[in-house]
Chain A
């Protein structure tokens, strides 16, 4: 079976690629489309570093076959900022030092965006449970959780 042709929307732009069935969305984002903001951590759905938004749902790109995105829409961390203007979560993560090595950060940003799009007034517990599938081995999570809570408060004030 030859490589499969897939047409999809990535960050609002039409995209096409060729892939083998066993290639994951993560493989294609990074290796074919060169969108390397999405990170590969565990490749088994445990760490959340490859979190992307697939038709509005938060998923691990390592657990989606690339062929499954035919005709669908994917949003990655590259789609968060508007040109030079960072997404409020990105801005707050920077200001609040909610990252150290930064490897988990794209996954946290994408996961937190989906949460705040659905609920701009989460409790701390809700934030922690929502982000339980995103692992950070540097910060201990407190700064990340606080940054998400702060952005939620900003959204409510806006």
Chain B
């Protein structure tokens, strides 16, 4: 068996060059909480591992045009410790903080969560609800990609050879806006989402919803953006009638699988319940800023 080459470049350009020139399978190592498990299980055996944690920009959270630029190799703990990010985008921060144990929080990264492309990834519905975009760097330079367009299915991404996600950018939060993420797991900690729901909504000065995004995780091969659920809120004061319509639209959008963690019927129902509760929290947050 050939030895695995390990590189820890100091710049995005060097990392991309290494990935682009690799002969066999090349993998980006960020937190390693998925990659090392997959290697140990014999699911992947890359010829090259490119550790991106030495790339300074990729582990930073920085202001960006009124919003935030989160380096793809930023771990959950650091995201949770950033008070201005938490104040602006609580839905994204609470989702990132839900991932794994204290030990995992020290390592697992937001870019890794996105690029591992698990349908149940907690941070992804929250990022998409927040309108997040990614910078993808590759041999042909950099391009902007909507966060929802990275994963294409379980374990599959739209990234080409030599490409990697450098950062995730969250826009400036519009006034009177709130975000929230909720997931269902059968215990209080340390589990994978059976259903996840992200909501972001904005109100006008009279308290009428002017914009909304509703996303669902773990109920389809990739995160669902449920426009019908958002439409149920827009133009309303997010009252009981609107929330009921949102829940119905969220449930109707689900295409889940039956597995050990939940049945189709259960996931479909819970998606509506969680979307509704997340909308309630987002509404409360929108009213307080």
Contact = CB atoms under 8 A, between A and B. Distances in A.
B33 A45 contact: yes
A100 interface: no
B23 interface: no
A111 B102 CA distance: 9
A21 B103 contact: no
B242 interface: no
Contacts of B189: 129, 132
B23 to A, nearest CB: 13
Contact of A20 (B4, B40, B101, B107): B4
A60 B102 CA distance: 10
Contact of A64 (B8, B100, B107): B107
Contact of A57 (B8, B36, B106): B106
Given A1-B5, A21-B3, A65-B36, A45 B49 contact: no
B146 interface: no
A63 interface: yes
Interface string A97-115: 0000000000000010011
A43 to B, nearest CB: 6
A51 B103 contact: yes
Contacts, number: 86
Interface residues of B, number: 27
A22 B102 contact: no
A97 B3 CA distance: 46
Nearest to A128: B189
Cβ-closest 6 pairs across A and B: A133-B101, A21-B4, A1-B3, A57-B106, A132-B189, A21-B6
Given A44-B37, A68-B8, A134-B101, 9 more contacts: A22-B39, A45-B37, A45-B104, A57-B107, A59-B103, A63-B104, A64-B32, A67-B6, A133-B103
Interface of B: 3-6, 8, 29, 31-33, 36-37, 39-41, 49, 51, 53, 77, 100-104, 106-107, 189-190
